[in-house]
Structure 1
Amino acid sequence: MNEKEQIERLKTENKILQDKLDRLAKGKKRKKRLFGWLFKKASTPIIGSKLKRSISNAINEYKEYKTVSVDTVSDVSSNVVWRLTRIGLFAFFFAILPSTIMLIQTWLVVNQNALVQNQNTLVESQRKSSLVFVMDNVLSDLTSEIRSNPSRNISKPLEARVISLAMAMQPYEYEDVFDGKKKKGSPERGQLLFNLLMGDLGDRSTIDILNAADFTYSDLKKMLLGNGVNLKYARLNYSDFSQVYMPQANLQSAELKYADLEGVNLSESNLKRTSFVGANLENAELLSSDLTNANLRGANMRGADLSEAILWNVKLEDTDIRDVVLDNAIVHREDWLSYVSDSLDLKGSSTVVDKYRLKKEGKQQFVLVRRE
């Protein structure tokens, strides 16, 4: 390759490089114009055309006169204040927008919950209606079988239907018809139990049903069950027996934990090994009742009448015995008064100690008599 050809080749390469540099420069200019255009378009809504124009006038005036007039400064300041106020309003509206949406969503959820609650209430009402219909059929069959059976016992299949019905009658919250207060219970279970007790079932069927059925939360408030009802081994926890008349009842080994027995009449009843844990027995009538080995832990016995009752080995921890009547009640230990006042420190025990003394009537039998 001679010198002339080499020079030509270098010129060609130089021209190619120059074209590349020109293209790069043009690309930078296009990008600069594009970013400038974008900035101009984006800044105009944010800064505002009036504020932008006033700032431009102030800059031009300073370039030309090396000072800025008072009118120009006032124009810039007023536009700045106006623009900031406008942006603040937009920010305020954008800030409350999520809260507004959340409030609307909450309102919709509350309405939906109300609709679901109403639907559940309707479903529950239909369920109760169907259970009442089933109970009517079961009691009708029960009456027919009792009439045809001298022992007054019913068949095993019918016993199973009664037990299943009691289990299906679940407790719920409702308004007490007597005082209008809200409480949890099952009036349907109370009605079923009342009908079973009034039907005078045979001993075998009664024991079978009470051993297997769940009668917790039964509501029998103010019902007259009469003398000698048999509730031996019954599960009656949380039930309402307040002001029920049922003297000479057999509640041996029954469960009445946290039951409401305020003002109940259980005179001359068999309450051996009955559990009254946490029960309300305020003003209950328990005259001459046998509470041997009964559990009264945490029970409210305030104002209860236990005259001539048998309190042999009764568990009394945390029991309230204020204003209790214990005339001629029978206990099993000579130190019973000091036991309830000093060892257990029961509420109302000091009054009992002041009011009664122990009188020995057997090898291990002591009677509480009033002090003269």
Structure 2
Amino acid sequence: MSEQERIQQLEKENRILQGQLDQIKQRREKKKNVGFWLLKKSSVPLLGIRLKKSINNAINEYKETNTVSVDTVSDVSSNIIWRVTRIGLFGVLITLIPSLILMFQTWLVINQNVLVGNQNALIEAERRSSLVFIMDNLLSDLSEELKYKGSSERNISPVLEARIASLTRAMKPYKYEEDGELIDEKISPEKGQLLFSLIRSNLADQSYREILDASDFSYTYFKDIFLGRGVNLKYINLNHSNLSEVNLPAANLERAELVEANLERINLSDAILKRANFTESNLKYSELLSADLTNAKLYAADLTEADLTEATLWGTKLEDANLTDVILDNVIVHRQDWITYVKDSLDLKGASDIQEKYRVKKQGKQQFVILKK
């Protein structure tokens, strides 16, 4: 190879290398431009226009005078403080977003649980109400057995008695819709219908007594109904039942269980309530005229404005009862210090008013009557 050819080859290789260097330089410039562009674009939202301008002014001033004035430093500092505060508030708002989303999700879950609960309650109500068909068949059999029996022979077969008792235990309380809304407390209207039918069937005492002894009529729903005078419900279990505004004059509820029952405005005048259990029951505005409450349990019962005129409260348990505005005219009690006892020893609500309105008078050897002053 001649010297001239060798020079030409070196020049060619030099041009190739120069081209490669130019490409590398272009790529670097391009990256630098992109980085500068990104920095420029991101500096505005990050730093803010005011802070960016104050920093540029400080840099330009330093280039020109090799120093920075107090006003320029103050301007940069104030813009930094303002920007940090603004970013902090923005950060707080950002952190609140997940909390708000979580709260919204919790609200949705709660509402969903309520809807599911209501749906389950309605399904349960539909299932319970299906027992009405069984009750219809049972009452048809009852009517058939009593069809040819006279008034003195109205006992029914033990098999039918057992079927009635079993049905009362199968009728569990449930919630149902009333006026478009789900009721608050579980109750059984079917038990009320069954008990009403039994009372109206005029069964003989033996069958009636055996049915009530074996049955469970707790959570029975009665309201604003007249069941007749002198109904025999001795020993019946009516715990948690709703008998508000029911008329039961002269009924026999001796030893009946009425724990936490709603008996507001019930009429139990002349009723036999000996040893009945009214613990925590609602007896507001009830009519208990001449009722016999001998040794009855009225623990924590609410007797607000109840009328107990001429009733018998001999040995009646009244611990924690509410006697606000109760009427006690001619009520028979078992101790001469009865008024002082309910006020000072039991510390009952309304006892102070009783002391102001009434006095106790001895009527017999061990009998006392409450009279108005």
TM over 0.5: yes
The change in CA–CA distance for 1:129 and 1:340 in structure 2 (over 3 A counts) is closer
Deviations 1:24-58 (A, max 9, x none): xxxxxxxxxxxxxxxxxxxxxxxxxxxx9568548
Aligned counterpart, 1:144: 144
Gaps of 5+ in 1: 1-51, 59-71, 85-95
Gaps of 5+ in 2: 1-26, 47-96
Query: Take 2:189 and 2:255, find their aligned partners in 1: how far apart are those partners?
Result: 24
Residues 325-334 or 201-210, more deviating: 201-210
Contact 1:265 1:285 in 2 (8 A): yes
Aligned counterpart, 1:8: none
Aligned counterpart, 2:225: 223
Amino acid at match of 2:239: N
Task: Quote how far apart the aligned CAs of 1:104 are.
Answer: 9.4
The change in CA–CA distance for 1:110 and 1:219 in structure 2 (over 3 A counts) is closer
Which aligned pairs between 1:197-236 and structure 2 lie closer than 5 A?
197-236=199-238
Contact 1:304 1:325 in 2 (8 A): yes
Aligned counterpart, 2:134: 134
The change in CA–CA distance for 1:54 and 1:181 in structure 2 (over 3 A counts) is farther
The change in CA–CA distance for 1:142 and 1:238 in structure 2 (over 3 A counts) is same
Contact 1:176 1:182 in 2 (8 A): no
Q: 2:40 aligned with 1:78, yes or no? A: yes
Which aligned pairs between 1:235-274 and structure 2 lie closer than 5 A?
235-274=237-276
- Aligned to 1:357, the other structure's residue is in SS state strand
Deviations 1:65-86 (A, max 9, x none): xxxxxxx9844623765999xx
The change in CA–CA distance for 1:168 and 1:325 in structure 2 (over 3 A counts) is same
- Aligned to 1:185, the other structure's residue is in SS state coil
Amino acid at match of 1:273: R
- Aligned to 1:137, the other structure's residue is in SS state helix
Query: Take 2:226 and 2:248, find their aligned partners in 1: how far apart are those partners?
Result: 7
Identity %: 49
Query: Take 1:345 and 1:241, find their aligned partners in 2: how far apart are those partners?
Result: 29
The number of residues matched between the two structures is: 298
> Which of 190, 195, 198 is residue 197 of structure 2 equivalent to?
195
Task: Quote how far apart the aligned CAs of 1:334 are.
Answer: 1.0
Which aligned pairs between 1:36-115 and structure 2 lie closer than 5 A?
57=32, 74-75=36-37, 77-78=39-40
Q: 2:172 aligned with 1:160, yes or no? A: no
- Aligned to 2:207, the other structure's residue is in SS state helix
The change in CA–CA distance for 1:316 and 1:165 in structure 2 (over 3 A counts) is same
Amino acid at match of 1:350: S
| Structure 1 length-normalised TM | 0.70
Aligned counterpart, 2:4: none
Query: Take 2:264 and 2:193, find their aligned partners in 1: how far apart are those partners?
Result: 20
Aligned counterpart, 2:92: none
Deviations 1:62-120 (A, max 9, x none): xxxxxxxxxx9844623765999xxxxxxxxxxx99x99999999799879957964x4
RMSD: 3.7
Aligned counterpart, 2:17: none
Aligned counterpart, 2:335: 333
Task: Quote how far apart the aligned CAs of 1:211 are.
Answer: 1.4
Amino acid at match of 1:298: A
- Aligned to 1:353, the other structure's residue is in SS state helix
| Structure 2 length-normalised TM | 0.70
Query: Take 1:207 and 1:240, find their aligned partners in 2: how far apart are those partners?
Result: 22
Deviations 1:144-169 (A, max 9, x none): 22233443111111011111111111
